[in-house]
Amino acid sequence: MTPDAQLSISTLPVSLPDGWNDGTTGAELIFLGRVRHSENNQPISGISYSCYDAMALPELHRIHLAVTSSLGPHRVVIHHRTGFVPNGEPSLLIACASRHSPAVFSLVSEYLRLIKSSLPIWKSPVFTNP
């Protein structure tokens, strides 16, 4: 991990650390993935996220290196929450900062694509009783 990357996977609530952007960048984009109130048109109380601990954080670091290699240097904070996340609360934070605004849109989009396709985290909706 570089000083420009803060990558974490834990049961802690999603939040952006104070001072994450040091002022050297001109654009930042913050993405929050929130748990919806329903899954497949059925009400849920939340989602239980599990992960393969031995592989998840190393894979997140690999994703960061791949994005940096393809899209250039940037600042990033990624936090994926595990355990039970109630509906309405965020389970994923991706915050990117770069010199120019077009870059941050590409960065967040690429991080989200790679996280969804290769990070070993699985979700299981917790349905409410009708």
Q: What does the pLDDT look like over 49-99, one tens digit per residue?
A: 999 999 999 999 999 999 999 999 999 999 999 999 999 999 999 999 999
Q: What does the pLDDT look like over 115-129, one tens digit per residue?
A: 999 999 999 999 997
How many helical (H) and strand (E) elements, i.e. helices and strands, does the chain have?
2, 8
Q: Is the pTM of this model over 0.75?
A: yes
* Cα distance between residue 61 and residue 38, in whole Å: 31
Pairing of strands 75-81, 5-10: parallel
